[in-house]
Amino acid sequence: MSKATCLAPDCEATSRCRGNCSRHYNSLRQLILRSKENDEPVTWELLIDAGLATPATVDHPLSGFITGVLATLAERRRSKESTS
């Protein structure tokens, strides 16, 4: 089985997230975060339409792990607030 390569031009690295290697995914993520203050912010949807990213996969094992961590943190916060 062949592994998909990064969508970034001239990058031969294996894609890891949203069709990009780790380096290019983090670069795109930073671009999105920094552009939020602009009149026309960059979004994942714009990057997908431009062919620079793929939609997120919600069935990835890491997604479930992160969701569990967030739920645990929220529960701890609620518990801490109720004892204060």
Regarding whether 36 and 19 lie in a shared domain, the answer is yes
Where does the pLDDT of residue 2 fall: very low under 50, low under 70, confident under 90, or very high at 90 and above? low
Regarding whether 62 and 48 lie in a shared domain, the answer is no
Regarding whether 72 and 32 lie in a shared domain, the answer is no
pTM over 0.85: no
Task: Tell me which H or E stretch contains 65.
Answer: helix 61-83
The residue range of the domain holding 65 is 57-84
CA geometry: angle 25, 30, 34, nearest 5 deg: 155
Regarding whether 45 and 5 lie in a shared domain, the answer is yes
The whole-number pLDDT of residue 33 equals 95
**In this model, does residue 38 exceed pLDDT 60?**
yes
Question: What's the number of domains the chain is made of?
Answer: 2
Regarding whether 83 and 48 lie in a shared domain, the answer is no
Regarding whether 70 and 46 lie in a shared domain, the answer is no
What is the spatial distance between Cα 59 and Cα 54, in angstroms, rounded to a whole number?
Answer: 14
